[in-house]
A = this chain, B = another copy of it.
Amino acid sequence: MIHFDCDYMAGAHPEVLDAIVKNNRVQTAGYGNDDFCHRAKALIREACGTPDAAVHFMVGGTQTNSTVLDAILWRTDGVIAAESAHINVHESGAVELFGHKVLALPGHDGKLDAKEVDAYLRDFYADDTYEHMVAPGAVYISFPTELGTLYSLDELEQLSSVCRNHNIPLYIDGARLGHGLAASPDVTLKDIARLSDVFYIGGTKMGALMGEAVVCTRKDLLPRFFTLMKAHGAVLAKGRLLGIQFEAFFTDDLYMRIGRHAVALALRLRKALEAKGFVPFIDSPTNQQFFTLHNEVIDRLSQAATFEYWGPRGVTESRVRFVTSWETTEDDIATLESLL
């Protein structure tokens, strides 16, 4: 059986796992004070073109989002996000647990519109009662979004500009950043670093056992972040594990190779589905593909593969999602194609 349910179903990419195994007996200090982490941070800074950026490793996405937002938001501030944002839907209220409101704006295929964000910010301070309201203290976007879509470079430039005009940080959730960058016609990692104030390079969904790398280009934004991470339960005792994995990711371009691999296979699958006349209900260029299929096609594909319904099964046709990853092979796609 082939699995297209999600991109975190197996262990680690072989090159990542090899690094873990190879270094298993090396003894280091705990909590990330080790050479693996130091080297990984240097590689990340170089890849981002931000020699002075702070880099912090955490274990998972929800943990990263709620810890970073807790750091960058003032005590009662909220964070602007699209209604479909992961922090607004699928993190069990982690942002709120730490005291912050998610200020949900309409999403456009999962994306915030820079003009709408600007209008929201202007209107907020134009309201006489704003001191009684939750002030927008940051803007959260995901790249790619939860719907697999991407901001264009122009859209990112606009959002970044709006944030800087209003003097609030732009935070980018990069849980699948490599898949997004591989699929984007114009956005690079350096653009992400340049246009945001803080973002994270997702590891878990890109082939790590676990781990996310927070990159912060503003010196003042994450003061005393280790202590905050610790209080959030987000410090890994054997922090070296995260360093080892990210060092592997940023050696020989592995991170982007994984992204390109997954995206290429996703697009091959997309092409095959479109050739049969099926239409995606979300136009995603990344490793998630969203299609409405006849139930009989779904049932046929299900003989060889697992994938998720996106909403309830319909009477004659249903919405489904296919996700590729470093584990997906050309053969896997060929098998699906043969069943269409």
Contact = CB atoms under 8 A, between A and B. Distances in A.
A76 B131 contact: no
Contacts of A333: none
- Copies of the chain in the assembly: 4
Interface string A1-45: 001011011111010010011011111111000000000000000
Nearest to A11: B24
Closest 9 CB pairs of A and B: A63-B233, A11-B24, A92-B230, A93-B134, A92-B231, A9-B27, A96-B101, A76-B231, A93-B101
A85 to B, nearest CB: 13
B205 A94 contact: no
B131 A226 contact: yes
A265 to B, nearest CB: 16
Contacts of A234: 63, 233
B27 A3 contact: yes
Given A93-B101, A94-B230, A235 B62 contact: yes
A216 interface: no
Contacts of A238: 8, 10-11, 204, 209-210
Interface string A211-232: 0000000000001101110111
A25, A62, A97 — most chain B CB neighbours (10 Å): A97
